[in-house]
Structure 1
């Protein structure tokens, strides 16, 4: 029987501003990536997210970003690898400490936005992220784009890795995500999202924008929590996978 992890980026509300369907989505995912305050989120939102994830028995991950609140972490920044190391170390340490104070344990780390995309192609940045994660806790699982530099550098650092694919993003023929600046970057219908997920899980491939087939070997699927269709996508994808006999569980779920 196939097994796949369903993860969602949550905890992105800030102050009086609310984003996403966090608690509702927790019914459909097996892992969450909680914003650490650099692109979104705040201490109250983070604590609330941890408590809710523990109540739903969902694996908790840190979602570190470039320091870019105004741009929601989606603008590339010319940080050195040392600066990336410091930013990731700071953010992950905060989430890990709060998890443990609340009776939980941090399971994984997944970079956000532009930092995620940079780490997918820049080996030096990827190595800095992997080093920061390893120094905090070498039992943590490193999530990143399947087949990317971050997965290579995570393995080289001795970390367990989880290659990620996306239910609601379109791919280029080189296996990278179509940039959000392009009009066709996002999948907007439930049927197309379910079809892409089923192709990834059962055939290990996606259809690129030019019609070519791209190999994608993923152990985790991202269901973004900030889109208008987020909850409908999560419900339909979970239902479709379970109907196919697929087990939903976080990677290395049995590991200490």
Structure 2
């Protein structure tokens, strides 16, 4: 099982999360590319830490929405979205390579991530960006999403993601952050359900029903309160249960 986290989400003097600590725990790093968060220095620093730790670097691409942290849907033309995604991957790759790393995969962020679960036009635009830029890049997303379906049809390698600290609907989608109970905060509860996900066992949805989330990677949000403690608890519990942690996409060197 892979363990990933969203990193490089600070900007200028505004700091968010503890990238260095998280990179000592996770096996894959979803690195912001400057559109929803991150500046050149924050991004390069995260890549340097990832290279030192042998952590895979992924491009966390999103809408051009710095003020909204990429959490607002944008009704953007497909060609523009394709070019925005190519731009972001290219910027991250340049900084990663100067840091001794390289981009291994692509994971959309925030509102874009949620939109392309069902928004086929935008999902196709992101797929086109990855395929045009580098078809050897693998992609990460929500199981049964249009994004992964179209990526697989385009010949890209796809991997499924579950969320350690997000609540699920009975349909297996994420509860919107604006709704009550969208985030799970108790470390023990989070660790317990991560073990169940790793074993392919059902977990409880927000309405109390049981759902099964098939996943190759588990995400712990780097911007959540106590993110480092949560990531440590998840790592320790998984390894104690005999789950081997390894990146789903091998780290690349620059």
How does the TM-score come out when normalised to structure 2?
Answer: 0.96
Q: More deviation in 36-45 or 100-109? A: 100-109
Give the CA deviation at 1:250: 1.0
Give the CA deviation at 1:6: 0.4
Q: Any stretches of 5+ residues in structure 2 without a counterpart?
A: none
**In structure 2, what is the equivalent of residue 131 of structure 1?**
128
Give the CA deviation at 1:192: 1.2
Give the CA deviation at 1:103: 2.7
Q: Secondary structure at the match of 1:9?
A: strand
Give the CA deviation at 1:141: 1.1
Is contact 1:67–1:73 with CA below 8 Å preserved after alignment?
yes
Is contact 1:204–1:218 with CA below 8 Å preserved after alignment?
no
Is contact 2:6–2:31 with CA below 8 Å preserved after alignment?
yes
C-alpha distance in structure 1 between counterparts of 2:69 and 2:48, whole Å: 24
Give the CA deviation at 1:252: 4.0
RMSD (Å), alpha carbons: 1.5
1:51-72 per-position Cα deviation (integer Å, ceiling 9, x unaligned): 0100010000111110111110
The aligned runs of 1:235-246 (5 Å cut-off) are 235-246=232-243
Give the CA deviation at 1:216: 1.2
**In structure 2, what is the equivalent of residue 12 of structure 1?**
9
Give the CA deviation at 1:81: 1.6
Which one of the candidate residues 163, 182, 186 is aligned to 2:183? 186
**In structure 1, what is the equivalent of residue 142 of structure 2?**
145
**Is residue 163 of structure 1 aligned with residue 152 of structure 2?**
no
The aligned runs of 1:25-174 (5 Å cut-off) are 25-174=22-171
Give the CA deviation at 1:255: 9.6
Structure 1 runs (4+) deviating above 4 angstroms are none
Is contact 1:142–1:161 with CA below 8 Å preserved after alignment?
yes
Is contact 1:141–1:162 with CA below 8 Å preserved after alignment?
yes
Give the CA deviation at 1:254: 8.6
Is contact 2:104–2:249 with CA below 8 Å preserved after alignment?
no
Q: Any stretches of 5+ residues in structure 1 without a counterpart?
A: none
Q: Secondary structure at the match of 1:248?
A: coil
C-alpha distance in structure 2 between counterparts of 1:160 and 1:48, whole Å: 28
Q: Secondary structure at the match of 2:37?
A: coil
Q: 1:114 to 1:240 in 2, by over 3 A?
A: same
Is contact 2:220–2:231 with CA below 8 Å preserved after alignment?
yes
Q: Secondary structure at the match of 1:221?
A: strand
1:28-48 per-position Cα deviation (integer Å, ceiling 9, x unaligned): 100001111111100011111
Q: Secondary structure at the match of 2:248?
A: coil
Is contact 1:60–1:108 with CA below 8 Å preserved after alignment?
yes
Give the CA deviation at 1:205: 3.1
